[in-house]
Structure formats: structure tokens, C-alpha cells
Amino acid sequence: MDFKSTLAALLATVMFSLPQGASAESRAAELLQQLQSAEDSTAAARLESQVIDEWSKSGSPSMDLLLKRGNDALERGAFDEAAEHFRALSDHAPDFAEGWHGLGLAYFQMERLGPAMDALERTLALNPHHFGALRGVGAVHEQTGHPVLAYEAYQRVLELRPHDEDVLSALKRLEVEVKGVTL
């Protein structure tokens, strides 16, 4: 009798947790679709924030704390500290894309472009629609003298978030180098 009660409780827990995970993923997908067709930069900024909020849900309070500490350190410019938090996060939750993205940002700020690219590529392997990681990939390629690859990455960002003024500027800046001058 005790075993049956435990099994029933376990099954109920699993059944209730499955739709929540699926609904969180579908919520992010729905928000991404809305972001792609946002009418103006104000609507896009609101939707982008909501997408990032969905992506930042690890499902673990301790992992969420590491993410918060890493992001806080990034904001303060404490890049070594941020990298420590994000390394711990990616070690403990290797399938959580935001940990890798934060690590990529920290490494980029430390001008460690190889490790930054590795972390950003891991982010994209876990979340191919991660516009922040794509933007970072573009920046790394631009820094390392690969304008065509940077241009392609920035174009992919615009497919996901068409109102990114910084990316539009980067594309304009790289266009002559990538496409040449029309006579």
C-alpha cells in the first residue's frame, strides 16, 4: 500500500511537471514569433525582454542564483568573477544555454575570443534561436577579421529580431567590405 501511494505521488508529480516544461518552451517559441514580426523597436524591446526571461528559467533555484550572480558581475564589470559564476553554472547545468551565453559574454569582455566563441557555439547548439549568442558570434568574427562570417551572423540576428539598431549599423559598416561597391 505504501509503495502504491509513493508511485501515485511520483506519477502525479511527473504528469504535472511535463506540461509546465512544454508550456515554457512553447511560450518562448510564441514570443520569438512575435518578436520576428514586431512592428517597432518598442514592441521588439518588450518582447525581447520576455524571451530572455523565459530562457533564464533554469528550473533550479541554485542555478538561477548562479545566473543572477554572473549577470550582476557582468553589469559591474567584474568579468573574472562573472566567468567564475558562469563556469560553475555551466559545470552544474551543461544543458542550460544561458550559462554558456553568460560565459561567452564574460570571456568576450576579457578579450578571450577563442573561449568566448566556444561558449557561444555551445549556447547555439542548445538554443539555435539565441539572438544574443548569434550577435556575439558576429562580434567575435568581426574582431578576428572575418567580415563575411560576421555579416552572416548579424543577418541571422536580424531574422530573429529585426529592430536591432546595433546589428543594422554593423551590417551597414561591413556591407562594403563583404559585398563591394556597386558602380
Last residue of a domain, one of 36, 55, 74: 55
Please identify which residue in the block is written with the cell numbers 514586431. Answer: 38
Q: Do residues 1 and 28 share a domain?
A: yes
Assigned domain for 123 exists: no
Assigned domain for 18 exists: yes
Judged against a pLDDT cut of 50, whether residue 108 lies above it is answered with: yes
Assigned domain for 28 exists: yes
Q: Do residues 183 and 150 share a domain?
A: yes
Closest C-alpha to 139, from 161, 109, 103, 180: 109
The number of domains in the chain is 3
Tens digits of per-residue pLDDT, 38-72? Answer: 888 888 899 999 999 999 999 999 999 999 999 99
Q: What angle do CA 150, 154, 160 make, to 5 degrees?
A: 155
* Phi, psi of 147, deg, nearest 5: -60, -35
Q: Do residues 80 and 105 share a domain?
A: yes
pTM of the model: 0.82
Assigned domain for 24 exists: yes
Assigned domain for 124 exists: no
Domain range for 47 is 1-55
Assigned domain for 119 exists: no
Confidence tier at 127 by pLDDT (50, 70, 90): very high
